[in-house]
Structure 1
Amino acid sequence: MKIVDDEIKAIIAETLAEQHRIQQESIDAIVAKVVASVLTSLGIEDDDRKELRADFQHLRRWRRSVEQAQSYTFKAVIAVVATGLMGAIWLGVKVALGK
């Protein structure tokens, strides 16, 4: 009986695995159709994928350059303010010592 039970368990496991694989393939096909449908409704055809990828890469580079420019601008403003304060302090000390 032990051999029969093991064979039955193996058959059931194999059947369940095959059923799971079939369901997964079906789900993958449905998802692919939905994504294609959504992209098509947005005006993006399958042939446009390379161009769309290039557009997104360009936008990413543009965003990074803008973020970098903002960082440099912030640092420049801090430097100007610090220099102005140091100049004002120096002028105050010079005037105070000159009297």
Structure 2
Amino acid sequence: MKIQDEEIRAIVAETLAEQHRVQQESVDAIVLKAVASVLASFGIEDDDRKELRADFQHLRRWRKSVEQAQSYTFKAVITVIATGLMGAVWLGVKVVLGK
């Protein structure tokens, strides 16, 4: 009884696929453990995920509001400078025409 090439290829492919699946599960477990360890070193436990997500969402809202305030401040400063320059030009024109 001789095993044919196709059967050998199928057995090898199945064995390699199983080995890859086992390795992937092992890598996933190692990565999960490493991430949990790093978060624990920062004082963040697995149970704190919802609070951590809420904290990050709050920080994002805070950052966006600060960026928006900076934009409004920049626009206000430009408006004040432009208004001042236009006022100075107007006064200059009045002085020149008044003489």
Q: TM-score, normalised by structure 2?
A: 0.94
- Structural mapping, 1:53-92, within 5 Å: 53-92=53-92
Shift of 1:42: 0.9
Shift of 1:50: 0.4
Measure how far apart 1:37 and its partner are: 0.9
| Structure 1 stretches of at least 4 aligned residues deviating more than 3 Å after TM superposition | none
1:35-93 CA-to-partner distances (Å, cap 9, x unmatched) read: 11111111111111100100000000000000000000001100110010011001101
- Structure 2: runs of 5+ lacking an equivalent: none
Aligned-pair identity (%): 85
Q: Which residue of 2 aligns with 1:47?
A: 47
Structure 1: stretches of 5+ with no match in the other structure: none
Instruction: Give the root-mean-square deviation of aligned CA atoms.
Output: 1.0
The alignment of Structure 1 onto Structure 2 pairs a total of residues equal to 97
Q: TM-score, normalised by structure 1?
A: 0.94
Offset of residue 7 of structure 1: 1.4
